[in-house]
Structure 1
Amino acid sequence: MYNELPADEQSEIEQALVHDADLAAKCADLLLAQRALDSLRQTPRSATVQSILQYSRTFLTAS
């Protein structure tokens, strides 16, 4: 799914997908889920960042 396998292992997986319909269907589901997750927001909202920063200031001590 992320093209992280060596070429020989990737070839074996591709052959397994060709010959196993259930495996191919599961792989297709995983690819759809991957695309859906990749399209989600990847940065926190500004309000979330501000809340974390405000909370972290409670641990600062006067020097």
Structure 2
Amino acid sequence: MYNELPAEEQHEVEQALVHDPELATTCADLLLAQRSLDALACGPSKRSTDAILQYSRTFLRSA
């Protein structure tokens, strides 16, 4: 899925996928899930960031 196998092992996996429809279906499902997860946002929401910044300002005022 991440193209990290050596060429020979990759060829073996590809052959297994060609000859095993259930394995090919599972692999396709995993690739779809991987693409879906990669598309998700990886950072906090603006609301969360604003709340953290507002909270941190309370320490600046009390010092």
TM over 0.5: yes
Residue 17 of structure 2: SS of its match in structure 1? Answer: helix
Aligned position for 1:60? none
Aligned position for 2:45? 45
Map of 1:1-63 to 2, 5 A cutoff? 1-49=1-49
User: In percent, how many aligned pairs have the same letter?
Assistant: 66
Structure 1 stretches of at least 4 aligned residues deviating more than 2 Å after TM superposition: 46-56
Q: What is the TM-score when the length of structure 1 is the normalising length?
A: 0.73
Structure 1 counterpart of 2:30, one-letter code: L
Shift of 1:43: 1.4
Structure 1 counterpart of 2:2, one-letter code: Y
Q: Distance in 1 between matches of 2:7 and 2:55?
A: 48
Cα 1:50–1:15 shift into 2, 3 Å: same
> Is the helix fraction higher in 1 or 2?
2
Q: What is the TM-score when the length of structure 2 is the normalising length?
A: 0.73
Q: Distance in 2 between matches of 1:15 and 1:55?
A: 57
Q: How large is the RMSD of aligned CA atoms in angstroms?
A: 2.5
Give 5+ residue unaligned stretches, structure 2: 57-63
Q: How many residues are treated as equivalent by the alignment?
A: 62
